[in-house]
Amino acid sequence: MTVTRGPLAGCRILELGGIGPGPFAGMLLADLGAEVVRVDRPGRADEPDAGGPADVLDRGKRSVALDLKDPAATGVLLQLVERADVLIEGFRPGVTERLGIGPHDCLARNPRLVYGRMTGWGQEGPLAAAAGHDITYIAVTGALGAIGDAAGPPQIPLNLVGDFGGGGCYLVIGVLAALHSATRTGRGQVVDASIVDGTAHLLASTFAKLARDEWSDERGVNRFDGGWPFYAVYETKDGRHVAVGALERKFYRSLVELLGLDVDPDRQHDRSTWPRLRELLATRFAERTRDEWAELFEGTDACVAPVLSLTEAAAHPHLAARGSLFTRDGVVQPAAAPRFSATPSSAGRTAPAVGADTRAVFRDWGVRSPDPT
3-state secondary structure of 13: strand
- CB burial of 69-105 (b: ≥16 within 10 Å; e: otherwise) equals eeeebbbbbbbbbeebbbbbbbbebeebeebebbbeb
- Rounded Cα–Cα distance for residues 13 and 38 (Å): 8
Q: Cis omega (within 30 of 0) on the bond before 71?
A: no
Catalytic residue among 40, 134, 163, 357: 163
Q: φ and ψ at 311, to 5 degrees?
A: -75, -30
- Rounded Cα–Cα distance for residues 229 and 268 (Å): 10
Cα 348 to chain centroid distance, Å, stands at 17
Residue 133 designated active-site: yes
- Rounded Cα–Cα distance for residues 115 and 96 (Å): 11
- Rounded Cα–Cα distance for residues 346 and 14 (Å): 19
Residue 163 designated active-site: yes
Q: Calculate ∠ Cα 212-214-215, nearest 5°.
A: 110
Q: Going by C-beta distance under 8 Å and a sequence separation of 6 or more, which residues neighbour residue 369?
A: 72, 75, 76, 79, 362
- Rounded Cα–Cα distance for residues 134 and 80 (Å): 31
Cα 156 to chain centroid distance, Å, stands at 15
Catalytic residue among 105, 133, 241, 301: 133
Length of the chain: 373
Q: Which residues are catalytic?
A: 133, 163
